[in-house]
Amino acid sequence: MRSQSFYPRSWNNRDWKSGDIKFDMIFGECAEQKFGAPYLLAHRGDLHAALASAVPDACVRLNHKLVGLDRTGDGVRLAFANGTRAVADAVVGADGVHSAVRDILFDTAPVKFTGRIAYRTTYPATLLCGEKIDDCTKWWGEDRHIVIYYVKPDRSEVYLVTSSPSRIFASSPGRRRATCAIFAHRSRASTRKWAKCSRRAPTCTNG
């Protein structure tokens, strides 16, 4: 994992209007020595590859959608949509916000919209048109924010996520343009290096 990731200098927090630093959380080797673990920036695909590399190929089963699980005297019996069955010593439900494991085990409450929407994307750093960014920065607004950082050691790819208020939970190119316009209007310093090239950035996804 370390070969595909890097230490950011810090988690830099800046004011949306002035660009002034609000506070700076220093990372790097000194933070790893202090806390006993590193803070690394990496692309999610590289993280998945590192995790997969630690598991023998024979242990990986693709195209298995979990539809049921029951505790038995032998362990946990798993049922999949393709008709296969398996018994395991334990089950880890690491399947995200739409977790099938959670829904099977618990009386899951319906999703509740919080009144905020986030757009996120990754894109080549070349789309910054030569502009430079810090390794990792969060721009704090009054009711919205932008987080932007590199996800490759060679700084060739950028991750960006925004959060802003919204009356509805919906995503469309039109809403994306409206959100970009709001940030460009209200976050002068934070969007100067981003909005200039946002027309060529890939479509964002909300989550």
Catalytically active residues are 149
Q: What is the dihedral of CA 160, 207, 139, 184, to 10 degrees?
A: 80
Residue with tokens 């085990």: 105
Residues 6 or more apart whose CB falls under 8 angstroms from that of 46 comprise 1, 4, 5
Look at the alpha carbons of 171, 173, 178, 179 in this order and tell me if their dihedral is positive or negative.
Answer: positive
- Classified as helix, coil or strand, 171 is coil
CA distance 89 to 33: 36
Q: How far apart are CA 96 and CA 154, in angstroms?
A: 29
Whole-angstrom Cα distance, residue 37 to residue 28? 10
Identify the sign of the CA torsion 83, 84, 85, 90.
Answer: negative
Q: How far is CA 120 from the centre of its chain?
A: 8
